[in-house]
Chain A
Amino acid sequence: MSAAGALLDVRGLTVRFGGLVALDGVDVAVAEGETVGVIGPNGSGKTTLFNALTGLYAPAGGEIVFRGRRLAGLEAHAIARLGIARTFQASRLCLDLSVFDNILIGMHAGRRTGLVDFVVRRRRFLGEIRAALERASHLLALFNRDLPSRGFERVGQLPQIDRRRVEICRALAAAPTLLLLDEPSAGMNPEETAELMRDLRIVREEMPGLSVVIIEHDMFVIEGVSQRVVAFNYGRKIAEGSFAAVAAHGEVRAAYLGTEAVGA
């Protein structure tokens, strides 16, 4: 697809760790409302791409343009505030904090009240937080009707699948324009994965304008949710196109799927 008018436009992105080249001149573009699947074997640079996009790694070359703005030199929190939210492969929730707190932090950047409101004009702050709690409840209820009533429990007490949902809610709470999902099905059994796919469809329906980039090993998930697939190997993009086209691509089959049948 053409890069013009894309929400996210990555050109020639290169990331190095010492002598190791983790990403080597990668081009990726994501249009508004589009869901892009990213596949590739372990260590092929998928998560590195996310870490560079969110400002955790400083690229050695190339550029990232998001909503017409170059992200070079911006810190992670500033990039997040521009509208890029993400989840992590290994869950990064604060297990000691409540379910609500874990989601509220996603809305933290959009707060309108400050120190004085917290202490003196408490009413203003409480009004804002009440609205935030309601939004958190709404997000939770999208995935699981029982979750809002557990909002003041510690996240550590929730089962794995609900934790993953809370993490997705945290990302959505920031009202992002681009959502990066790093292997959401990691560590899940087939039933949980099926639930996850249902959850992702709900996200699509609720937020049609949202663009999503999803890293997945599970080909069912990739096939089920993405409109376009990008395949990585050794830090390079080796194929791009529809799921069927990429899955049939010779280099992808050799590098990633080996001789196994696609989607099996």
Chain B
Amino acid sequence: MPPLELLLQQALNGVMLGVMYALVAVGFTLFFGVLDVIHFAHGDIFMLGAFAGLTALVGLKAAGLGGSLLALPLTFAAAILVTGVVGVAAERVCVKPLAGTSPLMTLLATLSLGLVIRESVLIFYPRGADPKPFPQLLPQGGFEAGGVAIRYENLAILGIGLAAMVAVDRVIKGTKMGAAIRAVAQDPEAAQMMGVNLDRTVDATFFLGSGLAAVAGILSGLYYSEIHFIMGITGGVIGFSAAAIGGLGNVYGAIVGGLLFGVLQTTAAALIPRGSEFRDVVAFAVVMLFLVFKPSGIFGEKSVERV
């Protein structure tokens, strides 16, 4: 049995990872909320966000702004813009035109779109097949508290992630667009009768969800100091799992699900032999068990089935 400090340390790391997963999961859950679809390209949007961030950083460095305080916010803004636009385009090309057909069609289309995004980065990004080092922008170093090492960088990542979540909460609860998103998620027809512009609301939802994935992508780059075109597949499956654990369609469920998945992964890595290799196996196995015993998630899936 590993000492308590190690478990605490792993739990902390789990929360770090969980924040990133949660940001991806919120996208899945938002899309499911408004259009009742699973957007299988979302994981690759997350990867695209990381690459857009890296590209922005390289550009800023070339412009002599690499070390400035502005670099970080500009990077996030650029990446959010890129994924937001790609996300809305994905919705307009692959999701909405197929909305009336069987769910299988949307699934296949978004899955294939994800493949297109992934392969495009692989082929067209310079040396896209290699893992890319991600610049360290956050303060290095750290301190120790109660036998647990805490790095400034991790605190910053945690802070940015939490700030993004608070921002989502503000948007959904406090703005007109947020009210529209909630109305559409409840009942698209009723929302339209109340004067909600469905198309614009769906666009806004996809912009918001995809932007969050970009934040997650950059945070992932900062955390691992490396990004890779393949990261979207695992990122997507984990994000979807987290959203499912929380209950699809429920934003807070997605956040809780993300955190749970992160903690689950890191504790599995600490507790079982050769855990770092098998941590995903354990985490996915738990997700499957979860689906067996609580298929609608912790907070319940938005139900649309009618007889």
B:273-287 near A, CB below 8 Å = none
B70 within 8 A of A: no
A51 within 8 A of B: yes
A207 within 8 A of B: no
Chain A residue, CB-CB nearest to B102: A96
B292 within 8 A of A: no
B193 within 8 A of A: no
User: Given the complex, which residues of A lie within 8 Å of B307, measured CB to CB?
Assistant: 47, 51, 56-57, 88
5 residue pairs from A and B, CB less than 8 Å apart: A47-B307, A51-B307, A56-B307, A57-B307, A88-B307
Chain B residue, CB-CB nearest to A88: B307
**For the side of the interface on A, what is the size category?**
under 10
Could you tell me the distance between the alpha carbons of A79 and B307 in the complex, rounded to whole angstroms? 17
Could you tell me the distance between the alpha carbons of A47 and B307 in the complex, rounded to whole angstroms? 9
User: Given the complex, which residues of B lie within 8 Å of A57, measured CB to CB?
Assistant: 307
B:292-307 near A, CB below 8 Å = 307
A:12-69 near B, CB below 8 Å = 47, 51, 56-57
Chain A residue, CB-CB nearest to B306: A90
User: Given the complex, which residues of B lie within 8 Å of A88, measured CB to CB?
Assistant: 307
Could you tell me the distance between the alpha carbons of A107 and B71 in the complex, rounded to whole angstroms? 69
A-B interface contact total, Cβ < 8 Å: 5
User: Given the complex, which residues of B lie within 8 Å of A47, measured CB to CB?
Assistant: 307
Chain B residue, CB-CB nearest to A182: B307
Could you tell me the distance between the alpha carbons of A56 and B307 in the complex, rounded to whole angstroms? 8
**Could you mark each residue 146-160 of chain B with 1 if its beta carbon is under 8 Å from any beta carbon of chain A, else 0?**
000000000000000
User: Given the complex, which residues of B lie within 8 Å of A56, measured CB to CB?
Assistant: 307
Q: Which 5 A-B pairs have the closest CB atoms?
A: A51-B307, A56-B307, A47-B307, A57-B307, A88-B307
- Shortest distance from the beta carbon of B244 to any chain A beta carbon, whole Å: 22
Chain B residue, CB-CB nearest to A56: B307
**Could you mark each residue 105-148 of chain B with 1 if its beta carbon is under 8 Å from any beta carbon of chain A, else 0?**
00000000000000000000000000000000000000000000
Chain B residue, CB-CB nearest to A50: B307
Chain B residue, CB-CB nearest to A92: B307
- Shortest distance from the beta carbon of B105 to any chain A beta carbon, whole Å: 13
Could you tell me the distance between the alpha carbons of A41 and B284 in the complex, rounded to whole angstroms? 49
- Shortest distance from the beta carbon of A85 to any chain B beta carbon, whole Å: 16
- Shortest distance from the beta carbon of B301 to any chain A beta carbon, whole Å: 15
- Shortest distance from the beta carbon of A79 to any chain B beta carbon, whole Å: 14
Could you tell me the distance between the alpha carbons of A17 and B276 in the complex, rounded to whole angstroms? 45
- Shortest distance from the beta carbon of A168 to any chain B beta carbon, whole Å: 19
User: Given the complex, which residues of B lie within 8 Å of A51, measured CB to CB?
Assistant: 307
Chain B residue, CB-CB nearest to A96: B102
Could you tell me the distance between the alpha carbons of A51 and B307 in the complex, rounded to whole angstroms? 8
- Shortest distance from the beta carbon of B101 to any chain A beta carbon, whole Å: 11
- Shortest distance from the beta carbon of A214 to any chain B beta carbon, whole Å: 18
Could you tell me the distance between the alpha carbons of A71 and B156 in the complex, rounded to whole angstroms? 61
- Shortest distance from the beta carbon of A89 to any chain B beta carbon, whole Å: 9
Could you tell me the distance between the alpha carbons of A244 and B122 in the complex, rounded to whole angstroms? 76
- Shortest distance from the beta carbon of B214 to any chain A beta carbon, whole Å: 38
- Shortest distance from the beta carbon of B98 to any chain A beta carbon, whole Å: 16
Could you tell me the distance between the alpha carbons of A57 and B307 in the complex, rounded to whole angstroms? 10
Chain B residue, CB-CB nearest to A57: B307
- Shortest distance from the beta carbon of B198 to any chain A beta carbon, whole Å: 22
**Could you mark each residue 169-194 of chain A with 1 if its beta carbon is under 8 Å from any beta carbon of chain B, else 0?**
00000000000000000000000000
- Shortest distance from the beta carbon of B254 to any chain A beta carbon, whole Å: 23
Could you tell me the distance between the alpha carbons of A143 and B64 in the complex, rounded to whole angstroms? 81
Could you tell me the distance between the alpha carbons of A211 and B307 in the complex, rounded to whole angstroms? 23
Could you tell me the distance between the alpha carbons of A47 and B306 in the complex, rounded to whole angstroms? 12
A:90-109 near B, CB below 8 Å = none
Chain B residue, CB-CB nearest to A48: B307
Could you tell me the distance between the alpha carbons of A88 and B306 in the complex, rounded to whole angstroms? 12
Could you tell me the distance between the alpha carbons of A56 and B306 in the complex, rounded to whole angstroms? 11
B:83-115 near A, CB below 8 Å = none
B:164-193 near A, CB below 8 Å = none
- Shortest distance from the beta carbon of A5 to any chain B beta carbon, whole Å: 31
- Shortest distance from the beta carbon of B226 to any chain A beta carbon, whole Å: 48
Could you tell me the distance between the alpha carbons of A148 and B307 in the complex, rounded to whole angstroms? 30
Could you tell me the distance between the alpha carbons of A56 and B305 in the complex, rounded to whole angstroms? 12
Could you tell me the distance between the alpha carbons of A114 and B307 in the complex, rounded to whole angstroms? 31
